[in-house]
A = this chain, B = another copy of it.
Amino acid sequence: MVKRVRGSKTGRPIMVLLDLLGRRWVLRIVWELREKPRRFRELQDATGASPTIVNSRLAELREAKLVELDAESGYRLTALGKELLRLFLPLHVWSEKWAKAVAI
């Protein structure tokens, strides 16, 4: 049971998804899992988020069946999670172009 979107309570999947992905560190955590599984502390160190928030985000992502914990290797993307990531991969290239345009 995924937490409902806060603003609009329609429960439409796209809204629930945008709400989930719009929580702090969620996109970043998924991103850090793109290549290989990571341990709890690796995610903490890589993101710089507090353990409290890493833990609750991982819980949300597990509830959403995007991430799972494998005792051997650590946290990893599920099949669904990998699908989602695939949609986001073009962001990497695009972000470079964007950075030039915005002159961060």
Contact = CB atoms under 8 A, between A and B. Distances in A.
A13 B95 contact: yes
A24 B22 contact: yes
B8 A47 contact: yes
Interface residues of A, number: 45
B101 A13 contact: no
Contacts of A101: 65, 80
A23 B25 contact: no
Nearest to A99: B13
B14 A31 contact: yes
Nearest to A1: B104
B104 A13 contact: yes
B28 A102 contact: no
Interface in A38-53: 46-49
Interface in A20-70: 21-28, 31, 46-49, 63-65
